[in-house]
Structure 1
Amino acid sequence: MLLGPSIFPGRFCNINRSIPILFAFTVLALFFVMHGATSMEGEDGIRPFHFKYTTVKGYFLQSEDGTDPLSFDFRNQNFGLIDREYDTDGADSKEEQWRRFEAHARRLNEKSENGVQYKVLFLGRHGQGWHNVAEEKYGTHAWDCYWSMLDGADGITWLDANLTGLGQGQATDVNELWKALLPKGIPVPETFYVSPLTRAMETADLTFKGLNLPEDRRYDPIGKELLREAIGVHTCDRRSTASHIRKTFSHVKLEHGFSEEDTLWTADYREPASARKYRLEQLLDDIFESDGNVFLSLTSHSGAIGSILEAIGHRPFGLETGGVIPTVVRAEKVHGERAKPPHEPSEGPLPCASPPEVLPN
């Protein structure tokens, strides 16, 4: 005997009613699985993909091999923007150079192949800090093996160093440059990232506060833990607590998961160059994965910027304190996690028991 719906009407009715619900849950589950496979970290914190970065030449003088880093002054050369024509220029285009560049940069993304994106990074080094003064005072060797491990000396404090008066002036000079170029169409960064070390946040504030920025591009900095200088040993590179940062720089939004204490810094191990490059590559992967904007500002440190330039295939280009280097970056998504470098010994000389009497050059 066949059992039809009329025999168990209530049971069949419940099953039919649950089908749409089960279907909805199935669709949601598939969405999160698929979304996680393409844009979210795995349970172990490792992305199932990374980006391959390339510096695109032909836009900024700093990317060109013939530019001398020692004599180049970005302040007097329009941030280094090369005066050229673009394939996006109109037949009789009279737009300012920066506006034409912005239109071209956005067009690069519009016509890019699947899995490829372009961003323009303004990489800014903090102005002179008290740790810079101390290193010059004691000499690099004595600084690295002894003085850098102290919180300060001789009336100078360099633990999570502040800017000096000169450093503040260097950041203010960059503010004046932005102020002069805004009417000429320089694209305002759409996202402002900043190292959570005090000197970097002070520099970003002096650089961007007070500018007449569009409402949709207000200066709302985001503190990124991985955007720091080489980590360890040097107390100037040990950040303050999250509570202190939130109190002192209340406008800085610390990224999700930002710990109260500095869990990355250790007193007896200084991050080697290979590990620093890997850290900054992870930072770039995070930014290129999650930030859909094209023009970004990153205020950081000499070592961090050097590692970013290496990561994106840019030529080495040293920056003085307060310096800024813009660059156009092409990023292509590559399946598989990023290769992690092997553990290496701590960078720098062994600690000195007392200040060296002779300061080597």
Structure 2
Amino acid sequence: MGDTSLVLPEANPSTHVEYSTVKGYFLQSEESTDSSKFDFKKSNFGLIDRTYETDNTFSNDLELSPAKDQWQRFVKYVRYLNEHAPNDVKFKVIFMGRHGQGWHNVAESKYGTEAWDCHWSLLDGADGITWADANLTDLGKQQAQDAHQLWNSLLAGEENGIPSPETYYVSPLVRAIQTAVITFDKLDLPQELPFKPVVKELLREAIGVHTCDRRSSATFIRDSYPFLTIEDGFAETDPLWTVDLREPSSARRVRMTALLDDVFATDENTFISFTSHSGAIRSLLEAVSHRSFGLETGGVIPVFVKAQTVRGERKTPDPEPSGTPPSCATNPTSTPSL
């Protein structure tokens, strides 16, 4: 693998890291794939059946089924690319997972998006529902369990052979932590690659106004999930959330690019898991020049990412004004309870 220090954006102010999606390997990265009909659970996570230039390096006595052969051949090819890449290039495969259904999702459906945005999302909860730093619903837990069962079958099944993630990153919001735990805990993982999730402050949903996107205290997270590793510099109280300003999409993309800079500069592993949110994933895909691809709650897609250090300053999106809560056109409290 190339010299990590050469992929540090701060190492030289005249260079930056440029991220791109390597196409031709996953269905979700191809424009021809209809995201509304795509089912990651039935498509081997979208891995395309194809050949690689490293296929002839496998021993002839390996007796593998086509699906298992496909993943193992892909893994070998990705590692080959990293081993032979110039010092200014790195490749990673990032499994981007959206949390399962949370109580904030239920509330938005109940009240409607307009009333949710202008009134209900500013509250901690109502009508017996709490959505501040929302927990998973029973359906959300089942969606995470479905992902767990898929990983379990792909890791252990005779017809597969998917690589387990080598690093697990998770949003600090509870619904994402719960999803990661249900999905990956108790899998039959390699002893040298245990499930040890790392909380990353930047790997979170759009920040501000909505209480569902205000994280809990560091003490609460540590006490509730003592097996987590919390990154250095993690503040006790949420330093990013504000009550009256909502982060615009352009700023969220800059934030996700900064997250990628951190991960690519400090993590030598190749197969990575991110458990986060719909908005975070949308901005991550933009940051790696991937096509727009919507994920249902509990959905997961892997993305083949290339990082290359290039000359010049990074072009950033034109700044948008921070959003403020919209005025309600009608009385939001007139919505009947479930």
TM-score, normalised by the number of residues in structure 1: 0.84
Cα offset, 1:348, TM superposition: 6.1
Give me the whole-angstrom Cα distance separating, in 1, the residues matched to 2:285 and 2:310: 19
Cα offset, 1:353, TM superposition: 9.3
Q: Which residue of 1 aligns with 2:303?
A: 327
Give me the whole-angstrom Cα distance separating, in 2, the residues matched to 1:62 and 1:152: 36
> Which of the two has higher C-alpha Rg?
1
Q: Which residue of 2 aligns with 1:13?
A: none
Aligned equivalent of 1:88, options 50, 54, 57 = 54
Could you give the per-residue CA deviations for residues 295-333 of structure 1, whole angstroms, max 9, x where no partner exists?
000000000000000110110000000000101001001
- Identify unmatched segments of 5+ residues in structure 2: none
Aligned equivalent of 1:265, options 238, 241, 246 = 241
Q: Which residue of 1 aligns with 2:195?
A: 219
Q: Which residue of 1 aligns with 2:186?
A: 210
Q: Does 1:242 align with 2:218?
A: yes
Q: Does 1:159 align with 2:125?
A: no
Instruction: Identify, as 1 or 2, the structure richer in helix.
Output: 1
Q: 1:130 to 1:112 in 2, by over 3 A?
A: same
Q: Which residue of 1 aligns with 2:18?
A: 52
Could you give the per-residue CA deviations for residues 158-182 of structure 1, whole angstroms, max 9, x where no partner exists?
0000000000000000000000001
Number of positions where the alignment pairs a residue of Structure 1 with one of Structure 2? 322
Aligned equivalent of 1:302, options 238, 254, 278 = 278
Cα offset, 1:334, TM superposition: 2.7
Secondary structure class of the residue paired with 1:330: strand
Counterparts of 1:10-159 in structure 2, within 5 Å, are: 39=8, 41=10, 49-90=15-56, 92=60, 94-95=63-64, 96-159=69-132
Secondary structure class of the residue paired with 1:74: coil
Secondary structure class of the residue paired with 2:234: coil
Q: Is the 8 A contact 1:144 1:348 kept in 2?
A: no
Q: Is the 8 A contact 1:196 1:224 kept in 2?
A: yes
Query: How large is the RMSD of aligned CA atoms in angstroms?
Result: 2.2
Q: 1:212 to 1:278 in 2, by over 3 A?
A: same
Secondary structure class of the residue paired with 1:243: helix
Q: 1:201 to 1:49 in 2, by over 3 A?
A: farther
Q: Is the 8 A contact 1:50 1:285 kept in 2?
A: no
Q: 1:239 to 1:145 in 2, by over 3 A?
A: same
Q: Does 1:230 align with 2:230?
A: no
Q: Which residue of 2 aligns with 1:17?
A: none
Q: Which residue of 2 aligns with 1:284?
A: 260
Could you give the per-residue CA deviations for residues 61-116 of structure 1, whole angstroms, max 9, x where no partner exists?
10111111101111011111111111111274654221111111101111112200
Q: Which amino acid aligns with 1:239?
A: R
TM-score, normalised by the number of residues in structure 2: 0.90
